Structure 1
Amino acid sequence: MPHITGIIPARYKSTRFPGKPLAEILGKPLIQIVYENAKKSKFINELIIATDDERIYEVAKKFNADVVMTPSEIPTGTDRVAFVAKEINTDIVVNIQGDEPLLTPDMIDSAIEPFFTEEKIDISTLAVKIKNTDDLFNPNVVKVVFDKNNFALYFSRNPIPFCRDALTKEEWLKKGEHYKHIGIYVYSKTSLLKFVNLPNSKLEELEKLEQLRALENGMKIKIVITEKDTIGVDTPNDLEKVIQIFKNKKEFSNAG
């Protein structure tokens, strides 16, 4: 079996929500919920939080996480993950977004599984079918189209594929299948280090989607379809939505 390392990048200075890794959800910091979920993965052998901030470092130490300090000038989460991964003897690296508290252990495992069966694969990630027009036409919800073998063809902030014959937004959902990309990435270590050393690509710069850099350079991205959706915490409003979901879960489990 390959050795699999999960790395959670956590930055304090988010533009839209400064300090969000430490924002509380029912008494626990966001980063702790993400860490504890990932810790339940069947396949991850070691799990590390990679941060540039002493406050996040200290909080992570309090809940006994393995945490590494990284330089603050590292530009992206993926670069932060690669900075840590390059020093580790491992085969597969899972980039687990630090703002995805609804990402479950089985979702993480399903993203990893293609590496056990596929020979020609650089990256794998998740997608869920879009069921409402708000998500379909929201540029903050990234869409993906893929080939018959579930390898990504393109990611976009626009709704893709384009439904030429649809007369209303609702008809788009009836006539075509549209998928939302869920931001977890599993890489072979070799592919991750190759990816971060590639120059930013033209499509990546236009859409502001770094996974397009991989596609433009011929890297193979496997799409795993999941039935579960998530809400990434990008704003305080997102946090409130997630808190409500956790409250409802707690009330349901208490009732049961």
Structure 2
Amino acid sequence: MNIISMIPARYQASRFPAKLMQDLGGKPVILRTYEAAVGTKLFSKVYVVTDSRAIHDLIKANGGQVIMSKEEHQSGSDRIAEAVTDLEVDVVVNVQGDEPFIDRESLTKVIQVFHEDAGQEIDLASLMTPITDWDEISNPNTVKVIVDNNNFALYFSRSPIPYPRNKELNTPYFKHKGIYAFRKRALLDFKKLPMLTLEATEKIEAIRFLEYGKKIKMVETNVTGVEIDTPEDLERARKEWK
């Protein structure tokens, strides 16, 4: 099975423009993320896919594989779908450019889903991690996910889900980590499907699959890091890096 990683890297992030070029321990965030993905040794190739000449030149100058987007894209998955069209691959792992703390253990778990899926019935897998801090649960920058008994996603939201009307139940909450593993055909299907209302409202690309009736297998991991969505996240990441 040929498994590659693609890291979508949009320069003008809405909440924190140019965040991927911010310094993290002496190197830009996007370069740290690229090096972390390569360092797992799980992929035949790792690419950064970007709309930015500055990011392109940075990765190239450091010996990395990088692809310039030809079109404008609404989501990272749309961006890598364009890039993967003519590549001979089976599974594409979408690692977000603002996740420099990605780890081999978590990625191995999400890739294992496809090794165990002999019937090739699962098109998409992703990661979730337990969260208990109510400030994080309430934070709209933290995407939450709820799952069924077989760990297939029921819904993703920036709001707290489920709503804790009965607080005595101690219902677990899960944060969605921005890592997706697609079969190539599912990724190409994703690009063809128009964005619908729920995805547009929440600004969460995984919702597009749910709106079209597709299943997302969620894999639990206890490995945590810092996803850099805001300047405050960047400061936390710098402290963590030290």
- Deviations, residues 193-231 of structure 1 (Å, cap 9, x unaligned): 111111112221222222111012121101000001232
Give secondary structure in 1 for the equivalent of 2:126: strand
Alignment of 1:14-29 (within 5 A): 14-29=13-28
Measure the CA separation in 2 of the matches of 1:32 and 1:138.
27
Aligned partner of 1:114 in structure 2 is 113
**Distance apart, 1:41 and its partner CA:** 2.6
Aligned partner of 1:244 in structure 2 is 239
TM-score normalised by L of structure 2: 0.94
**Distance apart, 1:140 and its partner CA:** 1.6
Contact 1:233–1:239 at 8 Å: present in 2 too? yes
Aligned partner of 2:221 in structure 1 is 226
Which amino acid is 2:225 matched to?
T
User: Considering only aligned residues, what root-mean-square deviation do their CA atoms show, in Å?
Assistant: 1.5
Give secondary structure in 1 for the equivalent of 2:164: coil
Give secondary structure in 1 for the equivalent of 2:140: coil
Measure the CA separation in 2 of the matches of 1:17 and 1:160.
25
**Distance apart, 1:101 and its partner CA:** 0.9
Alignment of 1:147-226 (within 5 A): 147-166=148-167, 175-226=170-221
Contact 2:128–2:218 at 8 Å: present in 1 too? yes
- Deviations, residues 68-118 of structure 1 (Å, cap 9, x unaligned): 111362332111111111121111111110011111122222221101112
Alignment of 1:42-191 (within 5 A): 42-71=41-70, 73-118=72-117, 119=119, 120-166=121-167, 175-191=170-186
- Deviations, residues 157-205 of structure 1 (Å, cap 9, x unaligned): 2212222222xxxx6xx62111111110000000011111111122212
**Distance apart, 1:42 and its partner CA:** 4.1
Give unpaired runs (5+ residues) of structure 1.
Answer: 248-256
Structure 1 runs, 4 residues or longer, greater than 6 Å off: none
Contact 2:141–2:229 at 8 Å: present in 1 too? no
Contact 2:75–2:205 at 8 Å: present in 1 too? no
The range that moved more, 182-191 or 104-113, is 104-113
Measure the CA separation in 2 of the matches of 1:53 and 1:211.
24
Distance 1:244 1:49, change over 3 A: same
Measure the CA separation in 2 of the matches of 1:25 and 1:213.
32
Measure the CA separation in 2 of the matches of 1:65 and 1:50.
11
Give secondary structure in 1 for the equivalent of 2:35: helix
Give secondary structure in 1 for the equivalent of 2:177: strand
Give secondary structure in 1 for the equivalent of 2:180: strand
Give secondary structure in 1 for the equivalent of 2:181: strand
Which amino acid is 2:110 matched to?
A
The range that moved more, 228-237 or 24-33, is 228-237
Distance 1:94 1:216, change over 3 A: same
Identity %: 41
- Between the two proteins, the alignment pairs up a number of residues equal to 240
Which amino acid is 2:161 matched to?
I
Which amino acid is 1:123 matched to?
L
Measure the CA separation in 1 of the matches of 2:104 and 2:52.
26
